Amino acid sequence: LAQQKTSGFKLMMTPKWTGFPYFELTGEGAKAAATELGDTLIYAGADHAEVSLQVETLQNFVTQKPDGIILAAIDGNAVAPVLKQARAKGIVVGTYDADAAVAGRDMFVNQLSYEQAARVMLDAALIDAPEGGEIAFIAASPTSPNHVAHMKIMTELSKTEAKYKVFSVVDTQYAGDDDAKSYDVAVNLMQAHPKLKVIISSSAVSAPAAARAIEATGHVGKVWATGFALPSAIKRYLENGSQKAFAFWDPWELGYVAAYAVHQKLAGKFDPKEGAVLDVPKAGKFKTFKDAEVVYGKPLIFTKETVGKYNF
């Protein structure tokens, strides 16, 4: 075997779409990791989440023969063919945020396992409404697998786990990561369910829009919004007291870890087998589960007291 290279890799990264702060943060985190490790990282992508454009971007990546590709998949199956082609050329493929078909990538750096995500959102909901009540979901679309999984597990937990049994799930609506649509859906949900207590959204676009809808329609104190949101987007509502808690993780660090993982794999220092541990000195140690799923698993809950500490 030839001598293993340990540095100077060429990494290419594409998010679902560029121009969205969450993904831009993951890109910056990844770039920081690459710089530290002596690699180069190129971050590019289309300006809207269209799978054919993402495939085109990946195709262009493959042509440029990088050592590693990092992506958040729009449609995990649709990108699989081009990813397989990349792997066949010896390129290491790592997904983050949203996974691709298992055969198409070497590892998936999962921000939170589906169950973790479901639990942290319910925990946030418990801060909002400790007495429980009706909850409704806003997801991006029925075709986004992680949102669908979150909703399924949350529904499950509200029936099985004592802590969460105070909640009953009454509705699910889709708003396609569109802020105005989310706003209208939130308003319509409050109309449709007069006893509604919490609106939970795993879309970082919908959660702030729901908070805004509650504030604007005079439902403050009666209905709560929660779910995943960037602290900057919901800071206002926490600070003015109209909302109590949201959840998320650190997207910058997620990107950092994803790039780190791909680098370590390239350098031969990390093999994403079940049970293997990825050691990222600045972020922590992360365990690998079945199907090369590396769980980052550091949920954050933002409240009025803590939201000021985050600058993203």
Partner 1 sequence: MSEAPSVAARPGSRNLVEVVLRLREAGVVVFLVVLGLAFGLATDRFLSVQNLTTVASSAAILAIAACAQAIVLITRNLDVSVGSMMGLVAYLTADWAATHPGITPVEVVAIPLMIGTVLGAINGLLVAYGRVPALIATLGTMSLYRGFTYIYAHGQEVTSSRLPPWMLSSVDARIGGLPILILVSIAIVAVVAWLLHAYPFGRRLYAVGSNGVAAWFFGLRAERVVFFAYVACGFLCGIAGLLYAARVGTVTVVLANGWEMSSLASAVIGGVSVSGGSGTVVGAALGAVVLATIDNGLVLLRVPEFWRMFIQGAAIVAAVAVDALIAEAIRRSTGGRRR
Partner 2 sequence: MSTSAKRQLPLWEMALVVAILAAGAWSSTLSPYYLSVDQLFGSTRAFIIPGLLALGLAVVVSLGEIDISLASIIAVGTVALSKLSAAGVPFAVAAPIVVAIGALCGAFNGLLVAKWRLPSLAVTLGTMGAFRGLAFIAGSEVGYTDFDDVYLWLGSDYVFGGVVPVSLILFALAAAGVWFLMHRTGYGRRCFSIGLNPDAAWFAGVDVVGVKIRAYALAGALAGAAALVWVGQYGSARGDNADGSILFVVTAVVLGGMDINGGRGTLSGVVLALFLLGTIRNGLGLANVGGPTQTVVLGGLLVAGVLRPAAAAAIARLSRPAKTREARAQGE
Contact positions vs partner 2 (CB under 8 A): 12, 17-19, 42, 44-48, 50-53, 55-57, 59-60, 63-65, 75, 77-81, 101, 141-143, 145, 148
Stretch of 63-71, 156-164, 170-178, 268-276 contacting partner 1, by CB under 8 A = 170-178
Is residue 44 near partner 1 by the rule CB under 8 A? no
DSSP annotation of 259 reads H
Q: Which long-range contacts (CB under 8 A, 24 or more apart) does 53-60 make?
A: 54/14, 54/16, 54/78, 54/79, 55/79, 55/82, 57/14, 58/14, 58/82, 58/83, 58/86
Q: Does 274 bind partner 1 (CB under 8 A)?
A: no
CA distances to 110, 185, 194, 230, 263 from 200, rounded to whole Å, are 20, 12, 16, 14, 36
CB of 216 to partner 2, least distance (A): 28
Angstrom distance (rounded) from CA 215 to CA 218: 6
DSSP 5: P
Q: Which of 36, 50, 115, 171 binds partner 1 (CB under 8 A)?
A: 171
Task: Kindly state the smallest distance separating residue 47's Cβ from partner 2, in Å.
Answer: 3
Instruction: Decide if residue 105 touches partner 1 (CB under 8 A).
Output: no
Distances (CA, A) of 301 to 34, 119, 206, 208, 247: 28, 11, 17, 15, 4
Nearest one of 178, 177, 19, 26 to 97, comparing CA atoms: 26
**Partner from partner 2, partner 1, none contacting 179, C-beta within 5 to 8 A by type:** partner 1
Pick from 228, 237, 260, 296: which binds partner 1 (CB under 8 A)? 237
Residue 302 found at the interface with partner 1 (CB under 8 A): no
| Ranges of H-type helices in 9-166 | 21-37, 51-63, 80-88, 114-128, 145-160
- Considering only residues 135, 185, 257, 261, which one is a binding residue for partner 1 as defined by CB under 8 A? 185
Q: Give the interface segment with partner 1, choosing from 57-65, 95-103, 105-113, 184-192 (CB under 8 A).
A: 184-192
Nearest approach, Cβ of 79 to partner 2 (angstroms)?
8
Q: Which does 154 bind (CB under 5 to 8 A by kind): partner 2, partner 1, none?
A: none
Residue closer to partner 2, measured from CB, 41 or 198: 41
Shortest distance (Å) from residue 65 CB to partner 2: 7
Per CB under 8 A, 233 contacts partner 1:
yes
Residue 295 CA to its chain's centroid (Å): 12
Q: Is 118 left (phi over 0), alpha (psi -120 to 50) or beta?
A: alpha
